[in-house]
């Protein structure tokens, strides 16, 4: 569907006489040939076409990262966050822990963590779960927030239960598509 609201309907036929092409027709237009690789790209599973990175870190440095555990309150049982661990990029280009205390950090580890957050891929999307509790996300176990700009919006991911032994964590990105 285009931004104008119009949609394009394309129909694909069998492989053409030239084995590197497919017959195709856009709407009611003429029959045309398209390259095999174009057909392959259009014929992918929808999950492959989605934004599948956990965070969009862009090309520049990450301004701030925050991690917090989420555990039940000992008295009320209500979920509450721990004091977040916050790491921020300083003017000199080095990262520094700013919360719960101010101190230098291991730049190699912080750098690897940020790269992992930007390159980690998601799979097995559940668009409209009936209950987040089914995925260990009601309440979640932890929260990671990432800012690519000092005063910009945070990207947030909540981590829940794992699928099974050695499996991937369940993650909820509010507002993600």
DSSP 29-79: S-EEEEEHHHHHHHTS-HHHHS--BS----SS---EEEEEEEEE-TTT--E
Residue 14 has pLDDT above 80, yes or no: no
Q: Of 6-20, 34-48, 84-98, 123-137, give the range with the top mean pLDDT.
A: 84-98
Query: What's the pLDDT band for 170 if we cut at 50, 70, 90?
Result: low
Tell me the C-alpha to C-alpha distance, in Å, between residue 130 and each of 127, 133, 138, 144: 10, 9, 12, 24
Longest dimension (CA), the chain: 73
Report the chain's C-alpha Rg in angstroms.
23
Q: Report the C-alpha gap between 31 and 53 in whole angstroms.
A: 37
Residue 161 has pLDDT above 50, yes or no: yes
Query: What's the pLDDT band for 16 if we cut at 50, 70, 90?
Result: very low
**Model pTM greater than 0.95?**
no
Residue 97, C-beta contacts closer than 8 angstroms, at least 6 positions apart: 85, 86, 87, 103, 104, 105
Mean pLDDT of 145-153: 91
CB contact at 8 A, 170 and 137: yes
Residue 177 has pLDDT above 50, yes or no: no
Residues in the chain, total:
177
Residue 77, C-beta contacts closer than 8 angstroms, at least 6 positions apart: none
Q: Report the C-alpha gap between 88 and 92 in whole angstroms.
A: 11
pLDDT tens column, 22-77: 677 777 777 777 777 776 666 666 556 666 678 888 878 899 999 999 999 999 99
């Amino acid at each position: 569907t285009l931004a104008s609201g119009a949609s394009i309907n394309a129909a694909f036929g069998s492989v053409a006489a030239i084995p590197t092409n497919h017959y195709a027709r856009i709407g009611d237009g003429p029959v045309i040939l398209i390259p095999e690789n174009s057909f392959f790209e259009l014929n992918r599973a929808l999950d492959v076409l989605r934004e599948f990175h956990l965070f969009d870190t862009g090309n520049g440095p990450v301004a701030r990262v925050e991690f917090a555990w989420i555990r039940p309150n000992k008295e009320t049982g209500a979920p509450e966050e721990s004091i977040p661990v916050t790491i921020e990029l300083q003017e000199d280009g080095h990262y520094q822990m700013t919360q719960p205390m101010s101190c230098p950090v291991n730049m190699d580890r912080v750098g690897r963590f940020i790269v992992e957050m930007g390159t980690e891929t998601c799979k097995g999307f559940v668009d409209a779960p009936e209950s987040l509790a089914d995925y260990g996300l009601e309440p979640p176990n932890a929260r990671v927030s990432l800012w690519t700009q000092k005063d910009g919006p945070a990207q947030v991911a909540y981590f829940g239960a794992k699928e099974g032994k050695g499996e991937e964590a369940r993650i909820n990105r509010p507002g993600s598509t």
